[in-house]
Structure 1
Amino acid sequence: MGIRMVQSLLTWTDKMSVGVETLDADHKKLMGFVNELHAAVKTRAGAETVGRILDELIAYTEYHFEVEEQLQKLARFPDRAAHREKHEALKAKVYQLRDTFRADPESLNNVKVFDFLSDWLVRHILGDDMKYAPYLAKAANRAPPA
C-alpha cells in the first residue's frame, strides 16, 4: 500500500509523494501528529497532552486542506468538489472526536481514534490525493518561470 507500520506508527514512503514539496511536507507533518497522538496514548499521557495534540492536528489539517484546495483550483482539478467533500467529512469527524474527548476524556477508545486517523490519512494520500497529482504536475509545466 506504500506505507510501513513500525510499532503501529506511520512511516512516509516515496510512493506517497504527490510531487509537490509543500504538500508532501504537510502530509509528513500530519503523519507526525498522528504518531504523536499514538505515543501519547501508548505512554498514557494526560488528557491535557492528548487534547493539545488533537487541537494541533485539527489546526494543521484545516491549514493543509485550504492549501491543497487552492492548488487544486489553480491546477483546474475537475474533481475538486468531491475532494473537498471528503475533507469536510474528515473535519466533521475529527471535531466530533475532539468534542467527545473534551466532554469526557475517558469516553474515547484511543486505539480506535488512532486507527481511524491513520487509516484515513493513508487512504486519502494514496487514493484521493494521487488523483490530483497529475493535474498539479501539468499546471507546474504551464506556469511561467519565476
Structure 2
Amino acid sequence: MDADMTGWMKKRTEVAVWSIGPASFITFPGELYPEILNGGVVALSGRDIPVVPLETPPLRYMMQGTFRFGIGLANDEIGYIIPKSQWDEKKPYVYRDKPYYGEQNSLGPETAPLLYNELRQLLEELSGKPY
C-alpha cells in the first residue's frame, strides 16, 4: 500500500512475503476470507457490486515451496478482508436474511483487492514469475 497515505478515510498498513528453505509465508493485517488464500471466490447473482472475482488466482497458489503459510492479524487489525465480488451489505442479501458481521467490521469493498494486489506483486518479485 502507498506508504504516504494519510488523511480522511485512508489507512496505512502492511503485508509481508518471505521464504525459508521449503517454506513460504505471507502476512495480512486482518481476517482474510479463506477464499482469497485457498480459492473459491464467487460472484453470485444479486450481489451488491457487479464485478467478476478480482482476487484470483488464490494467494496460496502463487506461493513457493512445500509448506505455504498464511498468517492473519499480522502487524495490524483492519477487520475482515472480504472479496469485492462477495461484498453484501444491501438488501436483499445474497447469502442470508440479515447483514453479515464481516461487512460491518471491514474497511470496505476495496480492501481485499488492494491487499491482494500488493501480496501478488511481492509474490511475483520473490518467485521471479508473473501470475
TM-score using structure 2 length: 0.32
Whose Rg is larger?
1
Which structure has more strand as a fraction of its residues? 2
TM-score using structure 1 length: 0.30
